[in-house]
Amino acid sequence: MGLPRVGILADDRLQQHLLSTAVAHFGFEVVISADPQRMALLERQMPELDVWLVDINRDDDEDLPGWLDNMLDGDIPVLVGFEKAPHKGAEDYARWQKRLLQKLRELVPEQVTVAEYAAETITTLERSSQPNRHVIPLPKNFAELRLDGQVASQVWVLGASLGGPGAVKAFLDALPAGLPIAFVYAQHIDPRFENTLRSTIGRHSAYQMRNFEEGSRLLYGQVMVAPVTAEFVFDSRGCMHSLGTAWPGSYGPSIDQVMLNVHRYFGPHAGYILFSGMGNDGTDATITITATGVPVWVQTPSTCANSSMPESALETNKVTFHGDPFQLANQLVNRLKNTWVPL
């Protein structure tokens, strides 16, 4: 069992390439990527597929080719004539990718979901996790602070998907106690594993992991795990409230929406880090948020279990720092040391 196997047929070479890249970017297996003229050869030895993606240039009054008629009458779902892809540097490229993913999801559900893969990672971490012996020293200017339990004025979002739990744990484990900060952790995960995620990631961290609580506020020294099934927002006092509706997008929680909701209340007193993950969740928000100069960092793709999410953010040219989990933690400590001012 695995993620869907996709066959791509497109007579425009650039469109074929962009479709293949986008599908692979979301972790699907691209079994075929070819010009439709090769279909006669492919029909002789057809591999097993879960969905066809077909994009051919034709006039509306033109008869469908015989192979496409047969394909549409077959048992494998077919997505025909998806919109032309913008170039990869365009601001609407990420949105185009998302629309493609949603169309594919309508035709064929994942056999093993991203959320279930993340749950497997949690199980592995639970069995093998060891304390981090490399904790960054607390800057001297924070040594006398006693902020735990007070309402946080500095909040950073940690966004992660496939491969993210291990990276986020390494990041949090490296942080010293006593930093003037709180976190919102948005992880694509099966809702049944929310409590396991909280206990596993927080086992060796100096920061208290907590679940969402209606009407509560973010406190210094805490990591609030964003709820998987329902979107939450902040009111004018910084109290968190569930909307009672599902997150937009394909996975919960939506990292894009978590970032935007945090940004609406905390504005320049927030920051964002995207860790290992499949897809491009967080990219749309990166484009919006960084217009105000707020920092967005990513895990270096070569250190990720799945690099699609950080790579998508990097393609926006809005990311201001990247590093492995320890380097990200060290950068955050240094940034707080040099910029934090009590409100």
Query: What is the band of 335 on the pLDDT scale with cuts at 50, 70, 90?
Result: very high
Is 19 in the same domain as 75? yes
Is 30 in the same domain as 131? no
Better-predicted residue by pLDDT, 338 or 193: 338
Q: What's the confidence (pLDDT) of residue 40?
A: 67
Q: Are 18 and 53 in contact (CB under 8 A)?
A: no
For residues 144 and 294, give the distance between their C-alpha atoms in angstroms, rounded to a whole number.
28
Q: What is the average per-residue pLDDT within 331-342?
A: 91
For residues 78 and 76, give the distance between their C-alpha atoms in angstroms, rounded to a whole number.
6
Query: What is the band of 1 on the pLDDT scale with cuts at 50, 70, 90?
Result: very low
CB atoms < 10 A from the CB of 227, how many?
19
CATH number at residue 247: 3.40.50.180
Q: What is the average per-residue pLDDT within 126-132?
A: 61
Q: What percent of the chain has pLDDT over 70?
A: 87
Which of 77, 107, 137 delimits the end of a domain?
107
Q: What's the confidence (pLDDT) of residue 291?
A: 75
CATH number at residue 101: 3.40.50
Q: Are 168 and 325 in contact (CB under 8 A)?
A: yes
Is 219 in the same domain as 82? no
Is 272 in the same domain as 303? yes
Is 152 in the same domain as 211? yes
118-127, 203-212, 252-261: the lowest-pLDDT one: 118-127
Q: What is the average per-residue pLDDT within 214-241?
A: 96
Which of 87, 107, 127 delimits the end of a domain?
107
Percent helix, strand and coil across the chain, each to the nearest 5: 40, 15, 45
Query: What is the dihedral angle through the alpha carbons of 8, 10, 13, 14, rounded to the nearest 10 degrees?
Result: -80
Is 310 in the same domain as 266? yes
DSSP reduced 3-state for 31: strand
Q: What's the confidence (pLDDT) of residue 112?
A: 46
Is 306 in the same domain as 222? yes
Residue 43 domain boundaries: 5-107
Query: What is the band of 185 on the pLDDT scale with cuts at 50, 70, 90?
Result: very high
Is 102 in the same domain as 206? no
Is 325 in the same domain as 287? yes
Is 130 in the same domain as 49? no
Is 184 in the same domain as 149? yes
Task: Look at phi and psi of residue 175 and say left if phi exceeds 0, alpha if psi is from -120 to 50, else beta.
Answer: beta
For 297-313, the pLDDT digits (tens) are 999 999 998 888 999 89
Residues with catalytic annotation? 161, 188, 281
Q: What is the average per-residue pLDDT within 48-72?
A: 78
Q: What is the average per-residue pLDDT within 115-133?
A: 61
70 pLDDT more than 90: no
Q: What percent of the chain has pLDDT over 90?
A: 44
Is 23 in the same domain as 165? no
Which of 107, 124, 144 delimits the end of a domain?
107
User: In total, how many domains does the chain have?
Assistant: 2
For residues 339 and 293, give the distance between their C-alpha atoms in angstroms, rounded to a whole number.
14
The CA–CA distances, whole Å, from 73 to 41, 60, 65, 67, 77 equal 19, 19, 13, 10, 9
